[in-house]
Structure 1
Amino acid sequence: LWGDRDYAPMLRDFCRESQILLMGLDEAKVLYGGESPEEIFAAVYGDGAVQLAVLKDGGNGAWASDGKQILYLEPWPCRPVDPIGAGDAFNAAFLAGVLEGCDLQTCGRMGAVAGAMATETDGDTEGYPDRRKLQRILENRAQIYR
């Protein structure tokens, strides 16, 4: 889409102004030039307003950092059918956890569950869990159907 123009510096400027930065690992490698999550987080937290950053790597999990620690977030087990919408579901659930005041690990688990569930159906949003269903899964409580 960009032709021969490099917009990476402009995108890094936008990222630097963000408080919460959620991006794919492949996107982060292009923007920041690092290969490992540690290298990328070092570049992200070099200067700017970023308070939380997440690097998502699909079925391989994700990494989250608050600038002091880096947590690896395990992928949630699922039977994927269609990957469309998984990243958006992860982002929405992760941010819901942030807004609820959850710790970084819990926010990551919320994102992982929602992202995994999004892949288990066809369509962009059909597999997204509501808050009650997400909470049942996080608490490892079974749903009883009558």
Structure 2
Amino acid sequence: MSGVDLLTVGEALVSLRSSGPLLAGGPLSMHLAGAESNVAIGLARLGHRAAWVGRVGGDELGEFVLRQLRAEGVDTTAVRRDPARPTGLMFLERRTADVSRVQYHRAGSAGSALTVDDLRGPLAAGPRMVHLTGITPALSDSAREAAGWAARAAADAGIPVCLDVNHRAGLWSREAARATLFPLAGYASVVVASTDELDLVAQAGADEAAAAAGLLRRGVRTVLVKLGADGVRAYTAEGVRHVAAVPVTAVDTVGAGDAFTAGYLSGHLDGLDLVDRLGRAVTLGAFAVAGHGDWEGLPRRDELSLITGSAAGTTLR
């Protein structure tokens, strides 16, 4: 696993998707899902060497996860197959044209059994950057310990850490999330959060500017606040920059935040300046919402200009 640009740590699941209400029955399609694996795929499609580490079950679903990741060029050599636990499962139903609902079946999953020992080798190999989310530490005590250890070990080794808050209310309360994520953010170089997540890594009750300022004082170098259709605000020691979203017709917002993060980290790894990193981030976010699926519509490097350089309705021949 030497030479990895980005190491992502977390749980990958199998997503079964329905185009209508689950209770009405109908066909389900099978997909790979998971915030960290989405980011890994986004980086791999842009030509970076990305690795994902976690656990999958010793079942057919676990093999499906690994086959999908390998097909996308993601390094899975450090993934552990756990024969005693199942691969996590989620059901996604499109309830209306604008509303989708998710049900998880991940309690006791292989992914939730992640341990520090699963991460020692991948971290020792010296990735250029480590990506974590607030989902992993919510899965179990051992996963929480592993995520904390990874952040500390990477920071101690001089490896930049990106933390995407990615709060999941179904996994833990805001109070429990804050107790874990506030100290975790102190090891990060980049913190990514939506406006309603910032107080989980900052002083409770602080407004956006105060929360970002507090994170910068703690050593975070860049605070990215995702604004959805309004783009992104970035806080650094040099000030605040806002970049607008790329206008597209949105058909599926699932995975948009992960795509945004992948775009920003790609720009960071390529040595782009802040504005160009943000531009790549909102471009990947636009690709994500303009197509169906968590990651299926993400671009290759030679496709980055398809959205920004083409008029709506364009057919390229």
TM-score strictly above 0.5: yes
**Which of 240, 260, 276 is equivalent to 1:70?**
240
Offset from partner CA, 1:26-78 (integer Å, 9 cap, x none): 11134423223x22211111223x12221112112111122221101111101
Question: Contact conserved, 2:226 with 2:232, CA < 8 A, in 1?
Answer: yes
> Partner of 2:214 in structure 1?
43
Matched letter for residue 67 of structure 1: A
User: What is the CA–CA distance in structure 1 between the aligned matches of 2:174 and 2:272, rounded to whole Å?
Assistant: 43
Q: What is the deviation of 1:133?
A: 1.1
Matched letter for residue 292 of structure 2: D
Within-5 A mapping of 1:107-122? 107-122=277-292
Per chain length, whose mean CA-contact separation is higher, i.e. which structure has more relative contact order (CA < 8 Å, sep 6+)?
1
**Which of 241, 251, 256 is equivalent to 1:86?**
256
Offset from partner CA, 1:70-119 (integer Å, 9 cap, x none): 10111110100010011111100111001111110111011101101101
Structure number, greater radius of gyration: 2
Q: Taking structure 1 as reference, are residues 4 and 101 closer, same or farther at Cα in structure 2, changes over 3 Å only?
A: closer
> Partner of 1:28 in structure 2?
198
User: What is the CA–CA distance in structure 2 between the aligned matches of 1:120 and 1:25, rounded to whole Å?
Assistant: 22
User: What is the CA–CA distance in structure 1 between the aligned matches of 2:287 and 2:227, rounded to whole Å?
Assistant: 16
Q: Taking structure 1 as reference, are residues 3 and 69 closer, same or farther at Cα in structure 2, changes over 3 Å only?
A: closer
Percent of aligned pairs sharing the same letter: 29
User: What is the CA–CA distance in structure 2 between the aligned matches of 1:11 and 1:95, rounded to whole Å?
Assistant: 20
Q: Taking structure 1 as reference, are residues 5 and 86 closer, same or farther at Cα in structure 2, changes over 3 Å only?
A: closer
Superposition misfits of 4+ residues, deviation over 6 angstroms: 141-144
Question: Contact conserved, 2:181 with 2:200, CA < 8 A, in 1?
Answer: no
Secondary structure in 2 aligned to 1:81?
coil
User: What is the CA–CA distance in structure 2 between the aligned matches of 1:136 and 1:116, rounded to whole Å?
Assistant: 11
Q: What is the deviation of 1:121?
A: 1.4
User: What is the CA–CA distance in structure 1 between the aligned matches of 2:285 and 2:272, rounded to whole Å?
Assistant: 18
- Which structure 1 residue ranges, 5 or more long, are not aligned? none
Question: Contact conserved, 2:174 with 2:200, CA < 8 A, in 1?
Answer: no
Higher strand share: 2
Q: What is the deviation of 1:3?
A: 5.3
Question: Contact conserved, 2:233 with 2:240, CA < 8 A, in 1?
Answer: yes
